[in-house]
Amino acid sequence: MDVATYLAAVPDARREALVRLRELCLQELTGFEEQIAYGMPVYVRAGETAGEIAWANQKQYISFYLMRTDVRDAFADRLAAHDMGKACLRFRNPAKVDFDLLRDLLRATAGPGPGKVC
């Protein structure tokens, strides 16, 4: 499966938000490879094996996985206002996905060198 196939299977109500999220990842994560792992899109820095960003359509929400602990720590204040697990940011309403926050998280992730991945 590839990401286009993954997106084709997403319910219509969430597809627009997920397509926009994918475009944002491709735009901001230069030097990363887009893959499918664990049944979802994952972005892996070229030459590395661990994904640093992933996202998925879940039953109740859109999930955005931020595996870099240094980026999570740097954005702790902004992430506190959202539904956030250890590494999973959840958006229950596709119309309320905070794309400004996601762009900033992606830019921080794309910075120099891989950070510690949880």
Does residue 88 sit within a domain?
A: yes
Tens digit of pLDDT for each residue in 74-96? 999 999 999 999 999 999 999 99
CATH classification of the domain holding 78: 3.90.1150.200
Mention every residue, 6+ apart, whose C-beta is less than 8 A from residue 5: none
Tens digit of pLDDT for each residue in 18-35? 999 999 999 999 999 999
What's the rounded Cα separation, in Å, for the pair 73 and 65?
Answer: 14
Mention every residue, 6+ apart, whose C-beta is less than 8 A from residue 72: 66, 79, 87
Does residue 115 sit within a domain?
A: no
Number of helices and strands in the chain (H, E): 5, 6
Does residue 65 sit within a domain?
A: yes
Report how many domains make up the chain.
1
- Record the pTM: 0.92
Two structure tokens written together for 70: 């240094």
